[in-house]
Every structure is written in structure tokens, then in C-alpha cells.
């Protein structure tokens, strides 16, 4: 959930190609399989059409899309800026690197990987920042999001600028929502692998999930933006969510280890904006007794998962408009999914 306006620095987003998918859904306005959603879920989904900021909604249960519609904006198979849901995707990429041994684990210090970008006069605590601290947004460095965002992305070297920030907490302290921390993770992945974050995303997520991931903005040194402005279609985001819901597998293929899914969904801190727990790239809360994991991007880009109920939902929205508590829109989206959870429970009860 990037608490900032859209990226204004000139950064090319080459080839905004359509996201290629094997058939998951027949049409953008058709509920799939089994005669469509239950009347309860259908009524909730139709209510979503009255939210003018909302572009698209997909609701799936046990891998079967119950409802999917693009009310406005890009079609369901077209790329959309998912803003800080990119942090959730980046956590998946980091997990793939750990699974492969390319990163040693969440306790690995990042300073050796970022040595060329560390200022000579950097605070010695930079040496204590780990992969896990970046994933959980607990690096301790002053935030680059919020009021500091514009100056950060206008700097000549985003990595050096983030590492030059004063420490406002110890590494591993409280959660400090900062896209700079996520960008340091993208830089660390690039250094560790000798390959771009885009290449890693395509090889480790795009290929096994059957989706094409278009390029997204890069910093002045060519490092792909870590934690913001990725472009994914709602259908592609659904596949990512389904893989996570299925504990790292998709269509019978292992994409990530179960251990990494568990690690991402283990609370590491608390969001000062929502009061929810935060793991590695995912917000965590309970809804009607169901455990909810979600990614949140500026403007109301959401990936909701309730694993115990087999529910996955994707929301894309107008990325130019805020979605924070002041606007009330994010609360409407959470209420929407809470109602979907309630409807799923009611459907189960009626079948019992």
C-alpha cells in the first residue's frame, strides 16, 4: 500500500504486453463453472459495481472463479498497475531465491550485496540490516514513502539514497512502511543473481504460472523498482494468489516451498496504518473467524486470500486515486471481502 501518488519520474515501461493466460475464464463478465456464484456471492459482487473507483473484481473458491468482471478500466486479461501489491510479488521472488539457495535466508545481511552503493559515512547499523528486515519493512531506516517519496525517486541513486537515510529505529524494530526497503531488496536480488528482478519474476513466477510479466519502471541504475508499479492483469494476479493459497503449488507444479508460504504469513510486526499484522510482503488479519492474508496497493489494488475457506479475490482500481482510511475506499473493499467470507460460510452451512 504505497502511501504516495503515482510515479512521476521519467521511467520507461517498455512493452505493456497483454498477459498471456491459459483459459481460466471464458469472458470478462461471466461467472465460471457450476452455474455461477451462489445468490449470496452474486449479490455482493454486483454491489461492487457501485464503487466508482473499482475497475475489476474476481472471486474464486477452491480454484474455481465464481465471479469475474471488469466493470471499467482494462479488461481482465490486460496489465494493470498493481502498485504496492508489487511488495507481495517481490516477497514471492525472494522466497524463490531462498528456496534455490541463491539467498542464504532471511537472516542474511544485505550489506555485502549492496557494498558499492553504501555511502562511506553510512551509519554502522546498515551492516545489521537483513533480507528479513527488508521483507518485513523493519530496516529501521527513515521511510522513503509518504512525504519523502518525491525526493527519493528524484535522487540520482535510489539505493544509495535509501541507505543514507537516518535510522529512526534499530534494524528489526518496528514496521516502517517504506518502498525504499523493498527497493533495497530488489537491488540485493539483482546483485546476488547477476540478473534483473524482471528476469527472476518471469523465470520463477511467470513461466510456472503461465503468465507474461511486462517490464515495469527502473531506477537510474537500471534496477527494477522494488515494491511498486508492477503491471499484472487481474487474471495473472489471481494465479499468483491461487499458487500462494495452495501452499506454493499451481496446476500440480511446485513453484515455492511450503516453508516459504508459512514464513511469509508469520507475523513480524504491526502496520501503524491498519493495526494489522505484517509478515513478509503480506498484511494479516482475521475476518469472521477466518485468517485473511492480503496484499494492498495504492488506489485499491488488492489480493485477498482466506486459505481456510479456499477463497481468493482480486480487486483492481483507479491507481491515480487514494485508497487510505481518509478516503474510506479501502474500508469498503475490506467490508466487501468480509461479506464474501460470510457468504461462503453461509453457503457451506446451507449444504451441511
Report if residue 212 sits inside a domain: yes
Report if residue 328 sits inside a domain: yes
SS3 sequence of 281-337:
CCEEEEECCEEEEEEEECCCEEEEEEHHHCEEEEEEECCCCCCCCCCCHHHHHHHHH
Q: What's the average model confidence in pLDDT over 123-134? A: 98
Same domain, residue pair 131 and 261: yes
Q: What was the pLDDT predicted at 154?
A: 97
Collapse the DSSP code of 84 into the 3-class scheme (helix H, G, I; strand E, B; otherwise coil) and give the result.
coil
Inform me whether the pLDDT recorded for 1 exceeds 60. no
Report if residue 275 sits inside a domain: no
Same domain, residue pair 262 and 326: no
Q: What was the pLDDT predicted at 34?
A: 42
Domain finish residue from 199, 233, 268: 268
Span 65-114, pLDDT tens digits: 999 999 999 999 999 999 999 999 999 999 999 999 999 999 999 999 99
Percent of the chain with pLDDT over 90: 82
Same domain, residue pair 234 and 292: no
**Full residue range of the structural domain in which residue 238 is found:** 81-268
Report if residue 1 sits inside a domain: no
Same domain, residue pair 123 and 176: yes
Same domain, residue pair 61 and 143: no
Span 242-276, pLDDT tens digits: 999 999 999 999 999 999 999 999 999 999 888 99
Inform me whether the pLDDT recorded for 305 exceeds 70. yes
Same domain, residue pair 68 and 147: no
Inform me whether the pLDDT recorded for 21 exceeds 70. no
Q: What was the pLDDT predicted at 30?
A: 30
Same domain, residue pair 145 and 257: yes
Same domain, residue pair 90 and 149: yes
Domain finish residue from 268, 303, 333: 268
Amino acid at each position: 500500500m504505497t502511501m504516495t501518488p503515482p510515479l512521476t519520474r521519467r521511467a520507461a515501461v517498455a512493452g505493456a504486453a497483454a498477459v498471456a493466460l491459459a483459459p481460466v475464464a471464458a469472458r470478462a463478465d461471466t461467472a465460471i463453472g457450476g452455474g455461477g456464484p451462489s445468490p449470496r456471492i452474486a449479490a455482493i459482487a454486483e454491489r461492487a459495481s457501485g464503487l466508482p473507483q473499482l475497475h475489476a473484481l474476481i472471486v474464486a473458491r477452491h480454484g474455481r472463479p465464481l465471479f469475474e468482471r471488469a466493470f471499467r478500466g482494462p479488461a481482465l486479461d490486460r496489465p494493470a498497475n498493481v502498485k504496492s501489491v508489487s511488495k507481495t510479488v517481490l516477497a514471492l521472488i525472494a522466497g524463490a531465491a531462498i528456496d534455490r539457495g541463491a539467498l542464504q535466508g532471511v537472516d542474511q545481511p544485505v550489506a555485502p550485496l549492496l557494498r558499492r552503493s553504501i555511502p562511506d559515512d553510512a551509519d554502522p547499523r546498515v551492516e545489521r540490516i537483513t533480507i528479513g528486515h527488508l521483507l518485513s519493512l523493519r530496516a529501521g531506516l527513515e521511510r522513503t514513502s509518504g512525504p519523502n517519496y518525491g525526493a527519493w525517486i528524484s535522487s540520482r541513486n535510489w539505493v544509495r539514497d535509501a541507505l543514507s537515510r537516518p535510522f529512526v529505529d534499530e534494524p528489526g524494530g518496528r514496521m516502517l512502511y517504506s518502498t525504499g526497503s523493498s527497493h533495497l531488496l530488489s537491488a540485493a536480488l539483482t546483485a546476488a543473481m547477476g540478473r534483473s528482478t524482471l528476469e527472476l519474476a518471469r523465470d520463477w513466477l511467470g513461466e510456472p504460472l503461465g503468465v507474461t510479466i511486462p517490464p515495469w519502471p527502473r531506477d537510474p541504475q537500471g534496477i527494477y523498482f522494488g515494491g511498486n508499479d508492477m503491471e499484472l492483469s487481474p487474471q495473472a494476479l489471481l494465479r499468483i494468489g491461487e499458487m500462494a493459497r495452495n501452499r506454493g503449488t499451481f496446476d500440480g507444479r511446485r513453484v515455492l516451498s511450503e516453508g516459504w508460504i508459512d514464513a511469509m504469513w508469520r507475523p513480524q510486526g504491526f502496520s501503524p496504518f491498519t493495526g494489522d499484522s505484517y509478515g513478509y510482503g503480506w498484511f494479516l488479519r482475521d475476518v469472521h473467524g477466518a485468517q485473511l492474508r492480503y496484499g494492498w496497493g495504492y488506489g485499491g489494488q488488492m489480493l485477498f486470500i482466506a486459505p481456510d475457506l479456499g477463497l481468493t479475490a482480486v480487486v483492481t482500481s483507479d491507481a491515480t486515486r487514494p485508497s487510505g482510511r481518509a478516503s474510506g475506499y479501502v474500508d469498503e473493499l475490506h467490508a466487501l471481502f468480509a461479506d464474501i467470507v460470510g457468504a461462503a460460510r453461509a453457503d457451506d452451512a446451507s449444504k451441511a
